[in-house]
Amino acid sequence: MLALWGTLFGVSVWLEVVYHFAGYGWTAFNPIFGLFLTAAWAGVWSLLIGLLSGRMKKILYYVVMWVPTVWTCVQLVYLRIFKQPLLWQIMVANGGDALTNYWREALTAVFRAIPLILLLMLPAVGIPLFCRWQGWRMPKYGSLQIMRSLVLILCCTAASVTALEIGESLELDYYEEYHEFYDPLTVAQEMGVAPLFHGDIAVCLRHFVADLREDIQSRDYVPVAAQPVEPTQFPAPQETVEPSAQPQESEEPPEETVSIYPHQYALDYDLLSSLADNDHQAWLADYIRNQTPVNSNEYTGMFEGYNLIFLTAEGFCTYAIDEELTPVLYKLSHSGFVCRNYYVPLWSTSTSDGEYINMTGLIPDGQHSLQNSSSNAEPFVLPAFFAKEGVHSYAYHDNSLSYYDRYLTHPNMGYDFKACKLGDLSEAEWGDKVFAMEGAGQWPASDYNMMVATVPEYVNDERFHVYYMTVSGHMNYNFTGNAMSAKNKDAVQGLDKSEGSKAYIACNIELDKALGSLLDQLEAAGQLERTVICLSADHYPYGFSDEEYQELAGKDLTAGKDKFRNTLILWNAGMEEPVYIDKACGPMDLLPTLLNLFGFDYDSRMYAGRDILSDQEGMVVFMNRDFVTDSVIFIEKGDITTWLQDENGNDIVPDEEKDAYLENARAEVKERYKFSAYILEENYYSDVVQAMLPDQGGT
């Protein structure tokens, strides 16, 4: 009994060790929970094998040996491509499209990982051969072996549960990462593939149960973004300078004061609390009630009545910008609002999560947040606010209509969404949502061709809001498997850089051409002066290794969170001088910032992000609960704290206040995580709408 159990357990440990060192190197590893978990499962499988006989015994034995081996190989290859673990929902929802679009990347990664794959397969191949050579036969369990196996399974299961309970009671990081703030990358790195598998299944089940509870199929729901809502009314604004009872005479005209008021709705908090039917909803009601709203500022309403074109740029980063090679990107990024401390974190589902945080101002919850939002009420996204003013919202993508379920998610937000390919959808049902574009079958497709094909659809509207998800900057970065890199190869041949760096810049030349075409068409239609362009990345180009990315950047990126520094474009042709912003900021701040600039009446408490132009301190939150503020860079693993300094070389936070500051900041990060996860999981905006007073657009 122990021999069979020990063999299966040993194979699991071997897979975990090889995966960890091949994927993460000599980084910290917390194996306690994972070891007990795999020991329990080894006991289960050894018991089942021992109970069977004949051919079924052998079949199950080989299944138990090979399925974890193949799964670990797949996880390792996926990690080397996407810098993230493979999650179940990715396979279920996007497996077909992924094979269609990313087969080149997959083949390249498999080829490069062949030595590691062979190492992972060594026990599955070698142990059966050794057993046959030694004449060892798998045992047939009797009553004693069955009892021993059951005791072993129960003890290992109890030990794994105890490990989690201890983590919860002591508020240890590994419990939070696995259970409270599920972080697939950290779980895989520190706990192993088996805990990742279990955590992933738990997340899927949680969303499944939430969907059942919501009973989506039976409710009469129309996306809130598409519903006509009366404009909200704020209380009378408060003046920043109170006028005296008797104004004093002065030869100079009085200074113009800026009206300051809180960005918040009037809510029936008692009703909001009464709608809560679980702890998560009760927590959200209290959180919103006690949250300090963000105030308006001197930029409030600066672009009121303007058009907005918002782009999520695939794999975009600062190092794609070159004054000669990408002149439009250079112009837009060096004028308008220039954020000098803008970070774009990498999330579990990379592009999909990058879109989600850009479009919602919420932190992704660890697994396909955008797709999981497709049946939720979305009353506080951009199309909802533009719809209140009678403005139509368009969305375009130069890839498949079905990928990441955008044909569901984007219309749910209020966009009229179109793509250049159907994907796996029916032509009869969805054919009218495909726009004709030259080179639609290329990989990646041309952002420039997308602009040529789509801008005429809306540019002559009286007013419009448009969202683009680009694709030309997608990896792999070479001149053989990337059509846009090959198209613009001649332009980068003179660069003193590696082939990968040149290919990356070359494919982003296509994005630059797209923006140039967009601006030209706007100007020809007389719309340029009254259109705002906002562009942010979905993630940095993770297709590069750290060494390759630093070669592209031409500098060291190992300090703090420098790898995630990026460029935000927030531009209007009418801005004569750039506005420089040194506040720490990121994609979760974009939505509230745009709502403020466009003069929309909104509630700042409905987002994890904050208006970049407000007087609140900046904060960028990363997937593993690292964060950057205006005062500190904090890395959770190892408690690495870098205190930032003022212009005089002094720490911004005095020494005596640092402990309290850090404690409050870490608590704030956890609250923003929890807020975002619960909003998504509970479909909570629907409760908020019910609690809005009638003159706020509520019911």
Q: Where are the chain's structural domains?
A: 2-214, 307-615
Task: Check: CB of residue 263 under 8 Å from CB of residue 611.
Answer: yes
State how far Cα 208 lies from the chain centre.
Answer: 20
Strands (E), 516-665: 531-537, 565-566, 569-572, 579-581, 619-621, 627-629, 632-635, 640-643
Q: State the Cα–Cα distance between residues 321 and 512, nearest whole angstrom.
A: 9
φ and ψ of 160, to 5 deg: -70, -40
First to last CA, the chain: 65
Separation between Cα atoms, residue 339 and residue 472, nearest integer Å: 24
Examine the pLDDT at 518 and tell me if it is beyond 50: yes
Give the lowest-confidence range in 31-45, 224-238, 526-540, 541-555.
224-238
pLDDT of residue 175: 65
Which of 18-22, 190-194, 597-601 ranks highest by mean pLDDT?
597-601
Tokens of 310: 């918002």
Here the tokens at position 136 are 């060892």
Q: pLDDT at position 85, please?
A: 83
| pLDDT attached to residue 89 | 65
pLDDT tens across 638-652, in order? 779 999 999 999 999
Confidence band for 388, pLDDT divided at 50, 70 and 90: very high
Q: Work out the pLDDT band at 286, boundaries 50, 70, 90.
A: very high
Each residue of 197-221: pLDDT tens digit?
887 777 666 655 555 555 443 344 4
Q: Average pLDDT in the 569-598 region?
A: 97
Mention the CATH class of domain 307-615.
alpha beta
Compute CA distances 136 → 4, 103, 129, 228, whole Å: 11, 41, 10, 74
Q: Which residue has the higher pLDDT, 370 or 138?
A: 370
| Per-residue pLDDT tens over the stretch 297-326 | 999 999 999 999 999 999 999 999 999 999
Provide the token pair at 423: 């994907």
Q: What is the pLDDT of residue 97?
A: 56
Categorize the per-residue pLDDT at 258 as very low, low, confident or very high, splitting at 50, 70 and 90: low
* pLDDT of amino acid 223: 44
Rg of the chain over all Cα atoms, to the nearest angstrom:
27
Beta carbons of 479 and 486 less than 8 angstroms apart: yes
Q: What three-state secondary structure class fits 483? A: helix
Strand partners, 393: 465
- Average pLDDT rounded to a whole number, residues 334-348: 96
Question: What is the C-alpha separation between 539 and 313, in angstroms, rounded?
Answer: 9
Whether the predicted pLDDT of 173 surpasses 80: no
Given a cut of 90, whether residue 408 has pLDDT beyond it is: yes
d(Cα 133, Cα 130) in Å, to the nearest integer?
Answer: 5
Residue 447 pLDDT exceeds 50: yes
Angle between helices 2-24 and 32-51 (to 10 degrees): 140
- Summarize pLDDT for 25-44 with one digit per residue, the tens: 887 787 888 888 899 989 89
More confident residue, 189 or 466: 466
Residue 282 pLDDT greater than 50, yes or no: yes
**Alpha carbons 480 and 340: distance in angstroms, whole number:** 35
Tokens of 581: 């912003």
The segment with the largest mean pLDDT, out of 92-101, 137-146, 676-685, is 676-685
